[in-house]
Chain A
Amino acid sequence: MNPVLKLILDGEPLTTAQMGKVLDMSREQIDAELEKLRAEGILLGWRPILNPDYSGPDEVRAVIEVKISPEREGGFDRIAERISKFDRVESCYLMSGAYDLLVVIKAQNLQRVASFVFEKLATVAGVNSTATHFMLRAYKEQGHYIARPEEVDAKPAVSP
């Protein structure tokens, strides 16, 4: 794996200058590697990972199971792409199992989610049914454990 990519995926927040120190590369080389990853469509972008409890008082997140009819030409892709283009949609995945698409959306309140589902999603040609689930509480967000913190400070500062 690309060493710069590997370092980013490690999850420790580092500046590009620090990444350069770790990998024995100049800052410019790191920037060039990142640009290359972007150009290749591997690195899609940067976003902070926020604790969902603090991501805004007027914000709700929902996951929606969507059943769709695949088309003769294009299969699931055309409908999935069409749904993905809505700004509200954070993520959209084709799934195996009881439904076809799993759509994650974020909105200011329940009504906005509801109107998105009824007015936008359910009316897309090829969408047969939807089942909306509201997220109540996050315990882990993109690899970050956010429930009660673990206490791991019992370690002695020096040990054999």
Chain B
Amino acid sequence: MSSSQRFVADHVAGLPKSGIRDFFAIVSQMKDAISLGIGEPDFVTPWHIREAAIYALEKGKTSYTDNKGLITLRREISKYVERFFHVNYNPDNEVLVSVGVSEALDIALRAILNPGDKVIYHEPCYVSYSPSITLCHATAIPVATSAEDDFAIDPDKLIAAWEPGVKAILLNFPTNPTGGVTERSKLERIAKFAKEKDIVVLADEIYAELTFDGEHVSIASFPGMKERTIFLHGFSKAFAMTGFRIGYACSTPELVEAMMKVHQYAMMCAPILSQEAAIEALRNGEEAVLDMKDKYQQRRDFICRRFNEIGLKCHVPAATFYAFPSIRDTGLTSMEFCQRVLQAEKVAVVPGTAFGPSGEGFFRASFSNSYDQLMRATDAIERFVDTLVKEPVAK
């Protein structure tokens, strides 16, 4: 083999390319497309938060920080998590500030997994879960969630997926891309199971603040669960701070120390300007979060109703800014549907399969967008679906 491909590690070479990246390549070729494919808020970070970062820069805050993050920020995180998630973490040794939740998840997995360990996660899910597990030389065991359950996890299915060697369960509720949440009683069963089998739970709750229906429940808050949970959270979604790349992990002193080892060698610390902005977000950002949430909720109601009118069955997501309608009745695969609606009507939505094989038959549409765009996009999708009805797909 002459190409430098031979230098690439086997487990990296074996990773599939992100389906999102494939689709992005197609969308980026097309001018004037309306995109409902964006996995981030359409709002710019609230000005008072940006201004705090500028002020920090003016004051010359350009250094490294403590590996764990600024103690002021960790104290604010501790207070916030206690208030919102009802779990108490000591800012001195139970909180670690990371470069987004992505890094927090990566160091959490690397801190706990030995080669050959297994991790149960639910699917459709965020694109990085399975690859991040594979990169730890561990095995990812998916459990499918379904539209019939509004994409909540079925504890029976999770328990049935268990096999010897399972070290961790990775939960992401509310879920990107489905907007699914899981009710307290089901989470309690999972917590009980985790204790029985002595399993670590990784809880990525990045969309928690964007819960519209009911109250968000963190599995970390259940009795006896703090000791075996790594709670992952960040600022990207609720505070519209994606580009700041700032998140955190909270857990026991032992697990935080283990994550710290990986973090300090790989990353050193999160950028100080983002940390300063995050302090401002936690101190004064709540009003802006509630305002954005309110706007997402109105848009959710609109887009879900439209998809159902069009004939694309769409459950109403209890949280997040994603709708996940079904295209099964069209007879097309997710990728075919998304490519054809893009070609025919210049509307970009993300094929469900980008979020795992169980996303087949669905697409993800972000309603983090203006009404004008949402109306034009749904009208266009309606025209496209109407043409399918007139010319049924040959099977």
Contacts and interface: CB of A to CB of B under 8 A. Distances in A.
B371 A22 contact: yes
B64 interface: no
A155 B369 CA distance: 13
Q: How large is the interface on A (under 10, 10 to 19, 20 to 34, 35 or more residues)?
A: 10 to 19
A157 B28 contact: yes
A43 interface: no
Interface string A20-41: 0111100000000000000000
A12 B20 CA distance: 30
A12 B376 CA distance: 14
B127 A157 contact: no
A6 B295 CA distance: 10
B74 to A, nearest CB: 28
B298 A7 contact: yes
B15 to A, nearest CB: 15
Interface stretch (B38-46, B133-141, B144-152, B214-222): B38-46
Contacts of B39: 158-160
Contact of A157 (B37, B176, B295): B37
Contacts of B24: 156-159
Contacts of A159: 20, 24, 37-40
Interface string A34-72: 000000000000000000000000000000000000000
A158 B35 contact: yes
A127 B295 CA distance: 45
Nearest to A10: B295
Contacts of B40: 155, 159
B348 A160 contact: no
B162 interface: no
A18 B371 contact: yes
Interface string A88-127: 0000000000000000000000000000000000000000
Interface string B333-354: 0000000000000001010001
Given A157-B348, A158-B348, A160-B18, A22 B298 contact: yes
A156 B38 contact: yes
A159 B23 CA distance: 9
Interface in A135-160: 150, 152, 155-160
Interface string B27-60: 1100001010111100010000000000000000
B375 interface: yes
Contacts of A23: 302
B20 A160 contact: yes
Nearest to A145: B47
A14 interface: yes
A158 B37 contact: yes
A120 to B, nearest CB: 39
Nearest to A155: B38
Contacts of A150: 44
Contacts of A14: 371-372
B20 A18 contact: no
B126 interface: yes
Interface string B354-392: 100000000000000011100100000000000000000
A157 B33 contact: yes
Interface in B162-190: 176
B245 interface: no
Contacts of B354: 160
A15 to B, nearest CB: 10
A12 B348 contact: no
B375 A18 contact: yes
B75 interface: no
B128 interface: yes
Nearest to B18: A160
Interface of A: 6-7, 10, 12, 14, 18, 21-24, 150, 152, 155-160
9 shortest interchain CB distances as A-B pairs: A158-B37, A158-B24, A157-B35, A159-B39, A160-B127, A157-B27, A160-B39, A160-B20, A22-B302
